[in-house]
């Protein structure tokens, strides 16, 4: 069976072709809108929607060409139903449904967060719930237990900003361009992570909740209390201290959840899962405590079409595909 996966929840226009049984990614191209949004310091929904509208046909055709198939070879379509930005979601959903109607095949709406968690399954297909999951991206930071039958239980999520947003917005405050997450990581390598003690909100509280809005405030005050010359001269150490604070909070809460649940498998998904320090610190803890740790590949950590198709394939194999008439929902949760 051949699946077309379409992801358009935010600022990546992505399409992928996957074959099931045996599972194989035949193509997985995407168009990133970073340049369109960089000058605004963040994603502008209207700009994102227009870019999706302009690029989705091209990216879909590229996926088909790279997979070396024809349009008529596609058996089913999976598209992102939510969560995400309304305009971009509508572009992807409308394209998917229109194409499905023309091809007389089904189109299924998939939860974007379930897609992120399915990205690791693409390389480790023997993963079976129950297990603990950490989704960490520009819009989401949450700890969720997945049990058989796609049953999700929320242990905790951010009370305000997501970790990815904290990276990007704090990076802008210290003079970096949007998106700043990967730049911070590059600047931080080999630098002094104890140069400045940025706050770790809720780190020691007995719950699975996160908070990063106070960190951004602390960074702003730090920048305002020091000269631009000082910030530039010590940019690497400041970036290292900032990265340490964010990753420390993520790791501390994940360890809390592992201890609370007793699970021996942890799956991490979302754009921030590409962060090297997060992988290193969770890796050390899990290795020393006999816990299986599953990350997606670096490419599949960010939004992509393969993860959406993978989530649909997982559900198809379990006989639990969603109804084909599902509407897009910008605030669609994974677990309540």
Query: Residue 251 annotated as binding?
Result: no
* Tokens 């992120």, residue located: 116
Query: Residue 42 annotated as binding?
Result: no
The single-letter DSSP state of residue 177 is: P
Rounded Cα gap, residues 174 and 177, in angstroms: 9
Query: Residue 139 annotated as binding?
Result: yes
Rounded Cα gap, residues 6 and 20, in angstroms: 16
Rounded Cα gap, residues 113 and 140, in angstroms: 8
Rounded Cα gap, residues 211 and 158, in angstroms: 5
Query: Residue 138 annotated as binding?
Result: yes
Query: Residue 237 annotated as binding?
Result: no
Rounded Cα gap, residues 226 and 175, in angstroms: 13
Query: Residue 181 annotated as binding?
Result: yes
Query: Residue 303 annotated as binding?
Result: yes
Phi, psi (deg, nearest 5) at residue 35: -65, -35
Strand 12-19 and strand 107-111: the pairing is unpaired
Q: Tally the C-alpha atoms within 13 A of residue 52's C-alpha that lie toward its C-beta.
A: 29
Query: Residue 206 annotated as binding?
Result: no
Query: Residue 112 annotated as binding?
Result: yes
The pair of structure tokens assigned to 107 is 């189109």
**In 3D, which of 127, 145, 144 has the Cα closest to residue 136?**
144
Binding residues for Fe cation: 112, 116, 303
Binding site: residue ranges?
112, 116, 135-139, 168, 181, 275, 303
Binding residues for substrate are 135-139, 168, 181, 275
């Amino acid at each position: 069976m051949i699946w077309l996966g379409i992801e358009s929840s935010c600022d990546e226009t992505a399409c992928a072709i996957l074959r099931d049984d045996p599972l194989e990614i035949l193509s997985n191209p995407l168009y990133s809108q970073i340049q369109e949004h960089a000058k605004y310091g963040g994603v502008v929904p209207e700009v994102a929607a227009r870019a999706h509208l302009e690029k989705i046909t091209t990216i879909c055709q590229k996926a088909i060409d790279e997979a070396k198939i024809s349009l008529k070879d596609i058996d089913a379509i999976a598209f992102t139903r939510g969560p995400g930005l309304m305009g971009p979601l509508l572009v992807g959903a409308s394209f998917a449904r229109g194409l499905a109607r023309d091809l007389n095949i089904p189109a299924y709406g998939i939860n974007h967060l379930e897609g992120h968690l399915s990205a690791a399954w693409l390389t480790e297909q023997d993963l079976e719930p129950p297990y603990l999951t950490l989704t960490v991206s520009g819009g989401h930071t949450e700890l969720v237990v997945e049990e058989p039958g796609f049953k999700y239980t929320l242990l905790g999520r951010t009370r305000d900003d997501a970790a990815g947003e904290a990276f990007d917005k704090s990076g802008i405050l210290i003079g970096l361009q949007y998106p700043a997450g990967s730049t911070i990581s590059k600047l931080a390598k080999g630098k002094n992570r104890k140069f400045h003690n940025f706050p770790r909100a809720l780190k020691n509280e007995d719950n699975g909740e996160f908070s990063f809005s106070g960190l951004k405030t602390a960074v702003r005050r730090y920048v305002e209390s020091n000269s631009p010359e000082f910030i530039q001269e010590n940019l690497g150490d400041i970036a290292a201290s900032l990265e340490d604070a964010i990753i420390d909070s993520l790791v501390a809460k994940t360890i809390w959840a592992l201890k609370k649940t007793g699970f021996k498998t942890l799956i991490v998904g979302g754009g921030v899962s590409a962060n090297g320090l997060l992988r290193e610190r969770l890796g050390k803890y899990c290795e020393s405590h006999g816990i299986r740790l599953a990350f997606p590949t670096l490419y599949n950590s960010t939004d992509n079409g393969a993860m959406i198709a993978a989530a649909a394939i997982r559900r198809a194999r379990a006989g639990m595909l969603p109804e084909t008439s599902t509407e897009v929902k910008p605030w669609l949760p994974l677990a309540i």
